[in-house]
């Protein structure tokens, strides 16, 4: 039998949650493998997850601007955006897809920077420079150019 807890349930932080159970979603839209895992994270790891919201998978977050790096949230609307600073040039169906790609690049910079032992300040500076380049390409939508690569 799985662990079912209310907001007032106390968890024994010296014990791990049992495997299995139904997935649950927190009020802050974080997915957990079980109610026990959600309660454990909140009470033992002191994570402010807002508590239990619902059973099953969390609903998609409204990130249709691409800022959450999830291109599945982007609309299919075509804007024909091309980032002229990239070589080879990349065509993006719309600005959301371009922002998703930028988001992924910035995450990679952070990940690579941490692996290389860079300080948080240096990583943030690297990301700021990269962000400037991406924003230049976001200023105006341009028609597809012959040397642009389609990104979907």
pLDDT tens readout for residues 67-116: 566 766 676 776 666 665 665 666 677 777 777 777 877 788 888 888 88
| pTM of the complete model | 0.41
CATH of the domain spanning 1-59: 3.30.60
Domain residue limits, the chain: 1-59, 71-150
pLDDT value for 98: 74
Higher per-residue confidence, 39 vs 98: 39
List the structure tokens of 134: 């991406």
Residue 117 CA to residue 122 CA, distance in Å, equals 10
User: What average pLDDT does this structure show over 48-67?
Assistant: 72
User: What average pLDDT does this structure show over 19-25?
Assistant: 87
Look-up of token digits 């091309």: 82
pLDDT value for 39: 92
Higher per-residue confidence, 130 vs 143: 130
Average pLDDT over the chain reads 73
Q: Say which range, 63-72, 126-135, 138-147, has the weakest mean pLDDT.
A: 138-147
């Amino acid at each position: 039998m799985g662990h079912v807890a209310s907001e007032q349930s106390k968890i024994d932080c010296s014990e791990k949650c049992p495997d299995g159970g139904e997935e649950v979603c927190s009020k802050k839209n974080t997915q957990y493998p079980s109610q026990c895992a959600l309660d454990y994270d909140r009470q033992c790891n002191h994570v402010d997850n807002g508590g239990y919201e619902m059973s099953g998978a969390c609903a998609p977050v409204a990130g249709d601007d691409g800022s959450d790096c999830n291109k599945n949230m982007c609309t299919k609307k075509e804007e024909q955006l091309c980032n002229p600073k990239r070589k080879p040039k990349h065509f993006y169906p719309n600005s959301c897809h371009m922002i998703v790609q930028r988001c992924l690049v910035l995450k990679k910079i952070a990940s690579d920077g941490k692996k290389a032992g860079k300080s948080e300040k240096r990583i943030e500076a690297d990301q700021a420079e990269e962000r400037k380049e991406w924003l230049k390409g976001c200023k105006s939508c341009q028609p597809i150019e012959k040397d642009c690569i389609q990104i979907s």
